[in-house]
Amino acid sequence: MQHNIVSRLLLIASGLVLASTCTAQEPETTKRPNILWIVGENLKLDLGCYGAKNVKTPALDGLAAKGVRYTHVFSTSPVCAPSRSAFFVGMYQTTTDTHNMRSHRSDGYRLPEGVRPITHRLKDVGYFSGNIATLGDDQIGSGKLDLNFVEEGKLYDTSKWEDLQGNQPFFAQINTLEAEYDIYDRQTWQQPRVEWKGEQTHEQIATVDNVTPPPYYPDHPLVRKEWARYLNSISGMDKTIGRVLAQLQKDGLADDTVVMFFGDNGRIEPRGIHWCYDTGLHVPMIIHWPTNFPAPANYKAGSVSDEVVSLIDIHPTTLGFAGIRRPLGMQGRTFMGDRLGPPRKFAFSARDRIDETVNRIRSVRGKKYHYLRNYFPDRHFTSLNRYKEKCFPIKPLMRQLMSEGKLSGAAAALMSPTVPAEQLFDTENDPHEINNLADSDDPEHQEALIQMRAALSVWMVETQDQGVFPEPEDVVAPFEKEMHDWFGTPKWYRKIDATLSKE
């Protein structure tokens, strides 16, 4: 409770309280477009239109060909609940005290004064909202919320696609479910649901023989199998999205609906989700504008934008599409529309406690360089986490191979129990972020390091980064107990299924 009060006072003192009732907007008689968010779970730029291999993504490739494709979009967190809590209100999760994974589920927490969910702001101007899970008898979305605030009242009006046509303008969100693991079922990774399902055949676009996993993993059949499975899940996701876009046309809604596709956080791979490398933060985004509404001045169909965008920018930009001005003090900026914010030089991201695993990492990403500040250098990739140990067989495989002396190069380095306090990567020349340049004598690298280090310090002060305050022991203890209870059982997580390891 005391921590909550401190957070609110800091917000008020820093002038970040948002104007919630005096937001300028267009007259009520103005026709407003429908808005559809398609939120891709757990992916990086692994679509055909971004040049990815071994995937089949005709729906999203087609959407990009007719819309705007963004190449430098970054989530504010490498895991879902903090990331979603940020872009759903347009404020950094580290400012609103929603930065720890699945926090505030039972403590009565309320968002700071003036900070509101996007559906509430849209409802003020007449929008019907849906968190769409079903289309007819079929499941097309997970219906996922996973927000670190649960006391803000009703957020959506429906979960059914069929309710949208008669309730316009609407704001609908579809959360894809293909690239997802279930912590409560440690065999989820073996299920074949990520296969591409064609009209007559089951076609696996990616196979063990044709994929090339990142070089920070060992060249092993299980690694290739997992990598193929991930890429096939992206192809399966695209097939679902294709059905959604076709239904939008069939219902006569396409010409009135802004479609925004973006990822909620990075890849569902061991070094991706949970970690502040590009694999955990760099996400795709495509925006398509409908023909029945005049397009924003900076919208050019079929174009590609390399401007730096943070996912919190999606909130004020969406409000602008609905005729609502960006609220004063909102940290997200409008990147498309009539009232553009100043261009971002950097996107800032943060990782804090995830389930039972306490850590603190901050990230600054520009167009070329990526800076990471690791506040706990003794907590890196090998840190125990039930979700990672249960659902990602690559991780226990690497533990096994490391113990047998069979890892080398980047894979062996990844298994180091420590990580440098500072990391700097040249993402243009080192896209896998393997070579740390923080100690480089190169003047260009040093200049980037100094600039990004300073930018992080300013950002932390200006946004009142709540990560500087450790969570109370009584909050962390239950998570830690679950971890210790689980890891006290026979250590099956260190073993690899015999048939897989022999493939």
What is the C-alpha to C-alpha distance for residues 90 and 8, in angstroms, rounded to an integer?
17
When mean pLDDT is compared across 171-180, 372-381, 479-488, the lowest value belongs to: 479-488
26 located within any domain? no
27 located within any domain? no
What is the C-alpha to C-alpha distance for residues 64 and 49, in angstroms, rounded to an integer?
7
Residue with tokens 């690694």: 223
> In the prediction, which pLDDT does 196 show?
43
What is the C-alpha to C-alpha distance for residues 408 and 412, in angstroms, rounded to an integer?
5
197-219 pLDDT per residue, tens: 444 445 668 889 999 999 999 99
**Cβ(354)–Cβ(385) under 8 Å?**
yes
> In the prediction, which pLDDT does 387 show?
86
Q: Regarding beta strands 361-365 and 347-351, do their DSSP bridges make them parallel or antiparallel, or are they unpaired?
A: antiparallel
Residue with tokens 């919190």: 312
Per-residue pLDDT for 19 more than 50? no
> In the prediction, which pLDDT does 203 show?
64
When mean pLDDT is compared across 144-148, 403-407, 484-488, the lowest value belongs to: 484-488
Mean pLDDT of the chain, nearest integer = 89
Q: Is residue 367 helix, strand or coil?
A: coil
364 located within any domain? yes
327-348 pLDDT per residue, tens: 999 999 999 998 899 999 999 9
Q: What is the DSSP string of 244-307?
A: HHHHHHHTT-GGGEEEEEEESSS-SSTTSTTS-SHHHHEEEEEEE--TTSPPPTT--TTEEEEE
∠ CA(226), CA(228), CA(233), 5° rounding? 95
139 located within any domain? yes
Per-residue pLDDT for 362 more than 70? yes
Q: Which residues of 420-429 are buried (b: 16+ CB within 10 A; e: fewer)?
A: eebbbbbbee
Residue 107, Cβ neighbours under 10 Å: how many? 12
394 located within any domain? yes
382 located within any domain? yes
Preceding omega of 169 cis (within 30 degrees of 0) = yes
256 located within any domain? yes
**Cβ(84)–Cβ(278) under 8 Å?**
no
Phi first, then psi: give them for residue 303, nearest 5 degrees: -100, 170
190 located within any domain? yes
Structural domain of residue 72, as residue ranges?
Answer: 2-15+33-501
**Cβ(103)–Cβ(475) under 8 Å?**
yes
**Cβ(293)–Cβ(109) under 8 Å?**
no
Average pLDDT (187-206) is 53
Residue with tokens 């926090």: 103
Work out how many domains the chain is built from and give that number. 1
What CATH number has the domain bearing residue 473?
Answer: 3.40.720.10
419-463 pLDDT per residue, tens: 999 999 999 999 999 999 999 999 999 999 999 999 999 999 999
